[in-house]
Amino acid sequence: MQDWVRDDLVGTGAQARYLIRFTLPVVPLLALFLLIPGPLWIGLAMMALLFIPLVYFTIALMNVYRRHRLLVHGLDPALLNADAQARVDRTREDYERRHGRLY
pTM of the full predicted structure? 0.71
Please check the confidence at residue 103 and state whether its pLDDT lies above 60: no
What stretches of 1-103 show up as alpha helix (H) in DSSP?
2-10, 14-23, 27-31, 40-60, 62-72, 82-99
Provide the domain count of the chain: 1
Q: What is the pLDDT of residues 2-32, one digit of tens each?
A: 788 888 888 888 889 999 999 999 999 999 9
